[in-house]
Structure 1
Amino acid sequence: MAFPIPSHLPRRPSPLDVSSQILSKIDSATTKTLDSALATSWLVELDATIESTKERIHERIQADLPEFNRQLDLSKSVQTRFHSLTTNVDTLNDVVSDPSPGIISTLLGNLTSHARLAQEASDAQVKFEALSHLLRCKTSFQALTTLIQAGKLSEAAEACDHLNTLLEGTPTHLNQTGIMVDLKTKFRAAHARIEDQLSDALSRSIIIAPTELTILSSVQVRQSETVLSLHSILLSLSHNSLSNHLTTLRRDLMIHFIDHVLKQPVSILESSGGIEHKLSHIPSPPNEEIRTQRLDNVSAILTFLSAHFLSSLPPSHSTFFTHSLCKPITTSILNNILIAFLPSSFDQFPRFMELAKQAVRFEDQFIVDMLRSDSYDRPVKVWADGVSGHYERQRRSHILNTSRTIIISSEGPTDTFFAEIEIPSEVYPPAVPIQIDSEVEEQHQEEGKSDAWGFDEEPKPEISESLEIDEDGWGFDDDPMPEPQPIHPSPSPEIINAEDETDPSEAWGWNDDDAPLAEESAWDDPWADNPTTPGSSTPSSPTNTRPPPEPTIASPKIATRLEKAVNKNKKHLNGTSMMHSPESPPPLSSFQQQLRSMSVSNPTLVMPQSNDEPLSSGKRPLRLMMSTKETYLVSERMKQVIDIVENVLDEGRQFTASTLFSSSESASTPGTTILQSAPAVLDLYMALYPVKFAKELEAPDRGMRFSNDCSFLSSRIELMENRLSSNIPSVVRDGLSECKHHLKIWGDSWYYDVIQKQRQLIDDILVEGAKGFTYSGDQDRYDDCESALSQSVQEIKRLAQRLKGVLAKSKYYTAIGTMADAVLSRVLQDILALPDIPEMESHRLNELCHILNALEGLFVEDPTQASFVVAYVPSWLKFSYLSELLEASMADITYLFEEGALVDFDVEELVRLVRALFADTALRTTTINKLLGGHPMPSS
């Protein structure tokens, strides 16, 4: 039964031949279809196919019968020849391979006999050669042994070399034999014995002790009567052994003789007797030493070696040994003579130059000529030619190390001094608005004085005697410059009505909240102490009348009296004082406003006024006139730094002018490196000090003192530049100029950085505590605002106490004024930004503003004089008016605006303030429209 093919397998194609077709049919038959008839049909079909095939073959043959017969005959011929060849090959194989008479067997026998004979002949030749070589080795070894026993080490060394040559030429087949191994062992022992005896003889010929060198020209071999010369010993030693001995000899020579005599003063003693030559050294007194003697001692040592040792060296080692001495000797001379004795001051240079010249001569005579060093390799001469550069680099290193020690050394609180600074002063007529009482005004009217400001009038004797003013604001000048003397101003402005004898202060209530400032204005002047700077004198007590501050205006009332004063053109309010004037004083002109803004950044700027032009706004006094001399605190180390720089410049100039180095081959001009150390000291200070004392400089007083130090250095460098001679290299001038510029920038930037940090600290206190002064009507919020303002005032006062004895007065007041201005600016900004200010909050805000009035005491030196706060706090006047505008009526605001008293406020600020303070009424709208029209123009 056929195996069923799975259906998923591919089927083969249908067969084409009869056999395949029949097999397929048989395969496809099943048990049901298979029977005899089917099988008979298959047989019949197969027989028919076979018969058909035979017929086709027969027809094919008959179609080309001659060709078929030819191929048949050819096939029979090939079969016959193949049978004949097979028979012949079998016969030949029998002839060649037969064991008895075969050719191969005969040939192999002959070759075997020949090989045996050749091996016997080779063995005999090898044995002969081995015995001959062994005989030669034995004879040579016996001769070597005889020489060794006789102590003839030189001949033994030659015999040893001959035997070594024989042993190295030993045939290969003898190398591993027992006799050769034993002979080589005995040879190595003999060679070692020769080397030991030669080394012992050399050690006894050259004896080096710490203080003595002994050289024997000949020595007797131990346990023999043979005497060997030093030359024969050196010549007989092996190359490696002699190299080791010479290395040890060079080391001992350098340690015990060359280096020793170059490091300290000694005396050389030399003695010769027969075959023994000695050289010894003994210490000499240091105080009697001549430094050139050290080079003479080395010369004596080298001469001794050349006479008694170098001449005995074999040529193969002589050059090597002498060259090996050159570098250590020149290095020792450089380190122990030239570099060690390099002077630390210029006055010692002539003597040192003689030593350097002798060192160069020594190098020429002994290193180049005797030791045969390369004539182009002369380190001593090269060093001596650049001696100026070596000295300058050493001095530079010493200068910078000394400067570094001074810069990073800790300092105590008393390591300071007061430096003096010249302040250029400009004298202008006093432009301080004054306030006079009714009697003085009537007296002026009777005398026909039409100048409302009183610039052109001469002060009366009785007034000038009591109010004599010293021009020197700080009292440092002995001869104060005279200036017109104004009448003493009143501490607070008053509005005087000629028709009403009521107290003029009642109209505004300016005297209601007067508080004494004696506590804040008491001035313990640290600058009044006698400064430690040379040429300073004890300052006199200040007597100059200070420009008055903007007055404090307390709870405003109705403006009935103000309106009357305006209508009658009598007494007018002009910022800080009342003047008798036919017209109201105009506000600041644009040019004066520009000057006033400039004065904020420049404390020495003043606003000049002529007698023809009245002060724009009476509330703006002139900048405080500073004295021509001020003192400020400087670290004591600054004197040391400046002394170093000045000494360096002096030394550099002296070095440059010297003729000692006229023949020097150095690339740069002598003295340049030393001169360049001057700006390097300053660079080192700027690089090290802020890093070393970074934590300490976080304190404001230390930061300001560092600013003073930089400014002091900058000013002193400028004085040095003016005194520099014309032969100073431009690179040094540029370096000093750059350091001066950098120090000036550092001093200014550190000064303003400290101020900025303190301003930010105060601003943070107000921002976090006051929170924009919103809802000040609530008691808790009011307490928070009050606490923030009080804390700000205390911070400024504490800062003022810390900086008072550190900064110069001009910088001190600028710094404190900037702090105070930061508080006022923040308060102004927050209050003016309030969208709505109820009546209760306006009262509360007014009370809070009065807390800052305590800052005015920081700008009072004499309690009997007015403060000069306005000169250093740009926002003071504006803030003073703001505190009063918070409780002023609409009529008061309109009046002050028309009089030009509110010029510090922008129109938008005034409009916003009016809208926040007052309800939306027709009057408020009219007032706002008037404000939007802009500030009134000053009358000519």
Structure 2
Amino acid sequence: MSTNDQLKQAIVDSVEHGAYPEPDISSAEVPSTLIPDLLADLQKARDEVKTDIRSLSKDIAPDVDGWIAQAKKLQADIERSKATARDIVAQAEAGKALKEKTHDAANKVRLLEKEVAFNESLATTLDLIRSSCRILDNADQAYVNNDLRTALDHLKQCDESITALSAVQDTRAVGLLQTRSSRFKSNFLDKTTALAQSLIQCDTDSRSVRIRDQIPDVPSVDLTLIVDTLEYLGGLDVYIRRLKRDIEFALFNPRLSTKSGQHTVFEVSDGSISVSKSTSKPDTIATLDDIWTALDFLSTHLPKSICEPLSQKLLPFLFETLTYTWLDQTVPVQIEQMPVFQQILDRVSRLAEQIDGLNWSSTALLKDWVQNAPRTWLSKRRETALGAARSLLFSGLRDRKTVERVETQTVSKGDAIMGGTDVDEADDAWAADWDEDTPETKEVETKQPEPSTNDDDDDGSAWDMDDDDAEAPTESKDNAENQEEDDAADAWGWGDDEQATDEAPKPDSPKKMTKAAPTDQSTQSGDRELTLRETYTVTAVPDGMLEIVMQVVSDAETLTDPSYSGSPIGPAASALYTLPTFVLAMYRATASTAYSKLDSGNMLIYNDASRLADQIRTFVNKQAEKDAKSTLPNHLRPSSRLRLDNDIKALETFAKRAYSAEMESQRTIIRDMLDGAQGFSNCNAEPFASACDSAVSITEGRLRDVHKQWTPILSRSALLQSSGSLLSTTISKMIMEIEEIQDIGEEESKKLRQFCDKISEVKDLFMQEHPEGGEASDMTGIYCPNWFKFQYLGELLESSLADIKYLWTEGELRLEFDADEVTDLIEALFADSDYRRKAIADIRKTRSS
């Protein structure tokens, strides 16, 4: 079959049967020459279809006629249904119109009903308004006629009527009615309040309160009606507050006043109570009696409806004022006044019971005051003690006196303190070693210097602080900065009373102690009891503080006596033992401020705090001895209740810190002065020479000024220890800076020797006079541990190599210097040569041997 035939057949099949051609045919191009043949084929196919239809029609013609008949019948039914539907629609439209007419008629009926209801409501409202106006007119007329009861009844009826008009309360008529009612109530309240004031007259000028049963011009008015009216009008609370204020000003304020020359009492007559002057000041019990008289008067003459709200507002103020101005002032400080205080407590309790009998509340304040009487007394006792201590701290500093420190030590023949010599030498041995075994408190906060390198190593030995209790500096430069807390013990140098020192003095620098006044007593074993004495200056503060503490303990001891078992403040006895701690704590807290205005205030703190600690310790020991003979149970004895050990330690630590602060301050000043020498470099050339001369001169003057300032305050041993510590600081800095000079010329060495000699002139401050008029002893080496090293340094600056080598090998130079220090000085003082190298080698060889 050709392609054209295939195309024609595919198109005919598509039209006739809806068949889709093959892809290669459907995608083929249809030429224009094919269209006539295609149309011919389509016409042929159409004719064939018509022929088939005619053939089929002949066979089914009878059926078709039946179908046609049925179709016509169906069409007729459809037309009838349409007509019926049109009738139904027409009838529905007619019903809708009827419904609209019915709805419109119903709306008109409801509108008419509302109109009728409104008219009826309006008539009722107008009747209520007219009735309310009529009632209000009647109330106003009764008000004008002073018929308060009728006016109040009419007012209540009027309020009920106005309440019934709540639905139309926004209307102008009702608003006018409410305005008129409010204005009437305001006038009515003012008149009722005025009548109440006429019945209860509080005159602040005459200081009286008068209560009447009725008013002559208005006999129908009484307090019950007044209260009912005020309560209904909402003015009762305001009136009660005003009445409470008037009663305060008229009665209680004048009566409870404690101003001088204003002594008053209450006087009650028929229906009135007034305040009248008294020639003498009433006591507290009389005041409590007067308070009850006034309250009883009010409860008798006032109705309960006034008394109850009045008492709720009046009693808290009254009891607060009574407590502050009278009751608290009657709390005694002295134990001897307790019986009177007990009577006051009983009367306060009875007053609370009397008020409770009136069924008034607010008596809790009185009951609490009675129950808290021990605490109140303790607070006042504490306040008094602290106030006395505070006043003493600022006033007692003006009074100073010299006191004596006495200590007894048992020493054996040949002991270090005796030096193996006679008692006269022992006189000088006691002061510097007193504190070598004194326990240190736990509050040490700074590092302890090493005794071998620190310029203040005597401070540490005096406090007996072990090397393993603090970090030791590793370099001599650091040692000069860590001296703060070791100074306090230097001032006393006191040792343990029960032990003799085990430390021998340094070789070639034995400590010769300050002069004392010993009393020597020999024992059978050859030991001796040596009584050591020295004086120092204190203020009046320690003795005053001790007196306060002793008085507190005495009061506590008195309260524990069986005779005070029923005392109201008996429970405060145990807490009273804590007052000494508060007193001593306050002293420590405020002493720095109080003493800061004094010259050498820290040294006075040191003396006062140390003496106070000793006095407290002695007092505690004596109290323990006294309690050992007491018949009281052990837990009631003062010695078992006092906890003053920590306070004693705190005082000692406080004293040491004050001393350390003063010493560190002076050390800083001295170091700053020596810093002006700029390390003593080029000290023979201007302007460095002038700077060095000035620095050394003012430092030497400072040492003397401080020594002079401390002389009237510190004991002799403390003065020497303190001055020696400052001198040690001075020469330690000079030694360190001179040793750091790399090259020292001949002229420089001479100049440096002059500086050393200038500082050495202060040794006259440490001269100890012989008790029998002999030659004075130089104690500088005892109180300044690096004094001999400083003297050797001065010698080395002008010595030859041979002299230095001799002092090292045959002398005692090695006791003060180590080999490195000496070799460094030799290298700085002498030029490089065989002699210098040989001398250095010999010195180092001697060290290693």
| Normalised TM-score (structure 1) | 0.64
1:866 aligns with 2:783: no
Candidates 346, 351, 358, aligned match of 2:347: 358
Aligned to 1:749: 657
Candidates 533, 536, 553, aligned match of 1:632: 536
Aligned to 1:805: 712
Output the CA distance in 2 between the equivalents of 1:253 and 1:831: 89
Which letter does structure 1 place at the counterpart of 2:293? Answer: A
* Partner SS, residue 391 of structure 1: helix
Residue 117 of structure 1, CA deviation: 4.7
1:212 aligns with 2:120: no
Within a 5 Å distance, the mapping from 1:284-323 to structure 2 comes to 284-287=278-281, 289-310=282-303, 313-314=304-305, 319-323=308-312
Cα deviation 1:875-924 (Å, max 9, x = unaligned) = 22233233333444444444444445223332333444455555543685
* Partner SS, residue 268 of structure 2: strand
Aligned to 2:671: 763
Cα deviation 1:782-832 (Å, max 9, x = unaligned) = 555444333332221222222222211111111111222223333333444
Aligned to 1:266: 264
Contact 2:696-2:758 within 8 A present in 1 as well:
yes
Within a 5 Å distance, the mapping from 1:208-607 to structure 2 comes to 208-210=202-204, 211-221=207-217, 227-239=220-232, 240-263=234-257, 265-272=263-270, 277-287=271-281, 289-310=282-303, 313-314=304-305, 319-365=308-354, 367-373=355-361, 378-407=364-393, 415-424=399-408, 603=493
Within a 5 Å distance, the mapping from 1:681-760 to structure 2 comes to 681-691=583-593, 696=597, 701-724=600-623, 726=627, 727=636, 733-734=642-643, 736-760=644-668
Output the CA distance in 1 between the equivalents of 2:727 and 2:757: 14
Output the CA distance in 2 between the equivalents of 1:402 and 1:640: 9
Aligned to 2:438: none
Contact 1:322-1:371 within 8 A present in 2 as well:
no
Contact 2:620-2:639 within 8 A present in 1 as well:
no
Structure 1 unaligned segments of length 5 or more: list them. 1-16, 18-37, 433-453, 459-467, 477-598, 607-613
Residue 214 of structure 1, CA deviation: 1.8
Output the CA distance in 2 between the equivalents of 1:52 and 1:759: 142
Which letter does structure 2 place at the counterpart of 1:677? Answer: L
Aligned to 2:21: none
Residue 318 of structure 1, CA deviation: 5.3
Contact 1:621-1:871 within 8 A present in 2 as well:
yes
Aligned to 1:511: none
Candidates 635, 654, 677, aligned match of 2:558: 654
Residue 714 of structure 1, CA deviation: 2.0
* Partner SS, residue 933 of structure 1: helix
Aligned to 2:520: none
Which letter does structure 1 place at the counterpart of 2:817? Answer: F
Cα deviation 1:329-378 (Å, max 9, x = unaligned) = 4334323431132234332221122122111111102x11113437xx63
| 809-818 vs 924-933, greater mean Cα deviation | 924-933
Aligned to 1:25: none
Cα deviation 1:557-614 (Å, max 9, x = unaligned) = xxxxxxxxxxxxxxxxxxxxxxxxxxxxxxxxxxxxxxxxxx99985689xxxxxxx9
C-alpha change, 1:255 and 1:730, in structure 2 (3 Å) is farther
Contact 1:343-1:352 within 8 A present in 2 as well:
yes
Cα deviation 1:652-694 (Å, max 9, x = unaligned) = 4334447456364x8x932344443322222122222324665
Cα deviation 1:54-84 (Å, max 9, x = unaligned) = 99x999x99x999xx9x99999999999988
* Partner SS, residue 274 of structure 2: strand
Within a 5 Å distance, the mapping from 1:139-158 to structure 2 comes to 140-141=135-136, 143-145=138-140, 147-158=142-153
Contact 1:703-1:750 within 8 A present in 2 as well:
yes
Aligned to 2:478: none
Residue 134 of structure 1, CA deviation: 4.8
Structure 2 unaligned segments of length 5 or more: list them. 1-13, 15-29, 432-488, 497-503, 518-531, 628-635
Cα deviation 1:130-185 (Å, max 9, x = unaligned) = 45545644664465455445433213312321222122112635x45565455445
C-alpha change, 1:692 and 1:236, in structure 2 (3 Å) is same
**CA-based RMSD:** 5.0
Output the CA distance in 1 between the equivalents of 2:777 and 2:328: 70
C-alpha change, 1:40 and 1:818, in structure 2 (3 Å) is same
Residue 854 of structure 1, CA deviation: 0.9
Percent of residue pairs bearing the same amino acid type: 19
C-alpha change, 1:232 and 1:897, in structure 2 (3 Å) is closer
Greater RCO (Cα-Cα under 8 Å, separation 6 or more):
1
C-alpha change, 1:622 and 1:629, in structure 2 (3 Å) is closer
Contact 1:262-1:295 within 8 A present in 2 as well:
no
Output the CA distance in 2 between the equivalents of 1:285 and 1:230: 37
C-alpha change, 1:163 and 1:916, in structure 2 (3 Å) is closer
* Partner SS, residue 806 of structure 1: coil
Cα deviation 1:497-521 (Å, max 9, x = unaligned) = xxxxxxxxxxxxxxxxxxxxxxxxx
Contact 1:423-1:626 within 8 A present in 2 as well:
no
Candidates 117, 124, 133, aligned match of 1:129: 124
Aligned to 1:933: 846
Residue 711 of structure 1, CA deviation: 1.8
* Partner SS, residue 390 of structure 1: helix
| Normalised TM-score (structure 2) | 0.71
Output the CA distance in 2 between the equivalents of 1:181 and 1:616: 113
* Partner SS, residue 330 of structure 2: coil
Output the CA distance in 1 between the equivalents of 2:846 and 2:285: 98
Output the CA distance in 2 between the equivalents of 1:825 and 1:418: 34
C-alpha change, 1:341 and 1:621, in structure 2 (3 Å) is closer
| 292-301 vs 673-682, greater mean Cα deviation | 673-682
Which letter does structure 1 place at the counterpart of 2:198? Answer: R
Output the CA distance in 2 between the equivalents of 1:859 and 1:75: 157
Output the CA distance in 2 between the equivalents of 1:801 and 1:73: 157
Output the CA distance in 1 between the equivalents of 2:840 and 2:227: 124
Aligned length in residues: 711
Contact 1:632-1:808 within 8 A present in 2 as well:
yes
Contact 2:265-2:290 within 8 A present in 1 as well:
yes
Which letter does structure 1 place at the counterpart of 2:357? Answer: D
Output the CA distance in 2 between the equivalents of 1:52 and 1:914: 149
